[in-house]
Amino acid sequence: MGQARFQDGKTTASHVVELHWDIEQLRIVAMDGGAELARWPLDQIRQVNMPGDDGRIRLALGHEPGARLLVSDSLDRDQVLGRCPNLAIKPEREKGWWRGYAFWGSAAILSITGLFLFVIPALSGVIAGFVPMEWERKFGNTAEEQILTGLSKLEKKPLGQMTCSTPAGDQALEKLLASLTGGYGDRSQLSVKVVDTKVPNAFALPGERILILRGLLDLADGPNGVAGVLAHELGHVQERHVMSNVIETSATSLLLGLVLGDVTGGALLVGVGETALNSAYGRDKERAADDYAIERMTEAGFDPAPLGDLLTRLSGESGNIDEYLVWASSHPATSERLAVIRESSMGGGQALNETEWQALKNICNPE
């Protein structure tokens, strides 16, 4: 029957109390006046100490916030530990505790998936369509300059000598373009350049710009593979994929930041998530560009099958060049893609005759 403190959950008074231990219940009696302040059934008494607490045993009736009994006297401590059987029992979950999680969780998941899977890709395409062509061209100019500068450093050649042109080569390229751009519309702004570097790659840039790197020509053993790559890149240009990529990237990083919160390492998570999502978006675009390429090739009467061969070759050809520079690293020769290309092949002719093809292949070696 030692002293303790009782705070009844109704006022901030801290009553000095005596504890009377009956068989079934604890009677809490004020020292001052002897009034009984509360009766607590022993089996409902819980210990609710906090991690930084002051050493007293903190007791509550049930789990609700409310009255607190603070026990410091060692005799009472022993009574508490000996007589109260359910001190450490966790609160039972209320019936239907999961409903909130289920409802709002699915709403949130629905909202996020809808956003990432449908809204961002769809809207970024739409928005990309409305970006003024002039901005896109400026953007493309800068991008092209940066890529050429980077490659000129790699090749240790002056920037001015990076693009290739021979009269016969240009003619062959123009012929390819003319036959592949049937449904393209106005192509007065379209620019296709061959860049003198051993790296086998091709890019579509914003503002209707395409760069074909010489390494790709070196690897191809016929005009149709190159025509296929060119048609693929034309597909990206036609659908303004690059611009919508830019918009998608900024939208995803914004949203992921929102979902993952601002925590230590949050930036890292955002980065990883972004890469994954963007590569998923990327795959859709590659498929669209492949479809476009096959369509154009078939329409022009060229056999698209060599595109598949070129892809396979590129995948094996990482060799001594940094892998990420190779077309195959962003355009892997997946069996799915190869199958699509193979199945679509209904035969057809060569995109260029042998003379024209040799002229294009040697566009970077003027005699």
Partner 1 sequence: MSITISPDDRIEVNGTQPAADPAPQGKNFAVFVSRAKLFWMLFRFAFLTIITLGIYRFWAKTKLRRYLWSTVEYDGDRFEYHGTAKELFLGFLIALAVLLPLGILNAFLNAVVFAEGGYEAFAFFYSLVFLFVIMFLIQFAFYRMRRYQLTRTSWRSVHFGLDGSAVKYAIMSILWLLFTIVTLGIAYPWMQAWQTRRIIDHARVGDLSFSCSVTGGAVFKRFILFYIGIFVASIATGILGSSVEKVGATGLEAVLRGIIPMFLTVGYMVVGALLLRISIFRLTVNNMQLGGHAIGATFKSAPIVWSAILSTIIALVIYFVAMAGGFGLLALFAGGVSALVGEFGSDPQAAQQVILMAYMFILPMIFIATLFAGAAGMAIFGVTVMRTIVPGISMEHSEKLDQILQSENTGPKYGEGFADALDVGAF
By CB under 8 A, is residue 259 in contact with partner 1? Answer: yes
Kindly state the smallest distance separating residue 179's Cβ from partner 1, in Å: 34
The Cα 2–Cα 21 span in angstroms is: 11
Which of 185, 263, 323, 324 touches partner 1 (CB under 8 A)? 263
Does position 16 bind partner 1 by CB under 8 A? no
Residue from 50, 92, 95, 320 touching partner 1 (CB under 8 A): that is 50
Burial 314-329 (b: 16+ CB within 10 A, else e): bbebeeebeeebbbbe
269 vs 288 by CB, closer to partner 1: 269
CA angle 103, 107, 111 (to 5 degrees): 170
Per rule CB under 8 A, is residue 81 in the interface with partner 1?
no
State which of residues 33, 34, 96, 100 lies at the interface with partner 1 (CB under 8 A): 100
- Looking at the Cβ atoms of 89 and 126, the one nearer to partner 1 is 126
How far apart (Å, rounded) are the C-alpha atoms in residues 315 and 270? Answer: 30
Q: Which stretch binds partner 1 (CB under 8 A): 33-41, 46-54, 151-159, 341-349?
A: 46-54
Q: In angstroms, how far is the first alpha carbon of the chain from the final one? A: 110
Closest to 190 in 3D by CA, of 172, 204, 202:
204
CA dist 241 and 252 (Å) reads 16
> Of the listed pieces 1-9, 165-173, 284-292, 350-358, which binds partner 1 according to CB under 8 A?
1-9
Amino acid at 104: W
Report the C-alpha gap between 308 and 142 in whole angstroms.
32
Taking a C-beta distance cutoff of 8 angstroms, is the pair 252, 123 a contact?
Answer: no
Least distance (Å) between residue 260 CB and partner 1 = 4
Q: Which is nearer to partner 1, 71 or 172 (CB)?
A: 71
Q: How far is the CB of 281 from partner 1 (least distance, A)?
A: 15
Nearest approach in angstroms of CB 120 to partner 1 is 8
How many residues of this chain interact with partner 1, rule: CB under 8 A? Answer: 48
133 is a contact residue toward partner 1 (CB under 8 A): no
Determine if 45 is a binding residue for partner 1 (CB under 8 A): no
Nearest residue to 312 via CA among 196, 234, 221 = 221
Q: Which tokens go with 114?
A: 């809808």
- Minimum CB distance to partner 1, residue 101 (Å): 7
CA dist 230 and 181 (Å) reads 10
Q: At its nearest, how many Å lie between partner 1 and the CB of residue 204?
A: 22
Q: Could you tell me which residues come within 8 angstroms of residue 147 by beta carbon, excluding any fewer than 6 positions away?
A: 203, 205, 211
Helix (H, G, I), strand (E, B) or coil at 55: coil
The single residue among 87, 127, 219, 246 that binds partner 1, judged by CB under 8 A, is: 127
d(CA 194, CA 201): 10
* Chain contacts with partner 1 (rule: CB under 8 A): 7-14, 50-54, 65-68, 70, 100-101, 104-105, 107-108, 110-112, 114-115, 119, 123, 126-127, 130-131, 251, 255, 258-266, 268-269
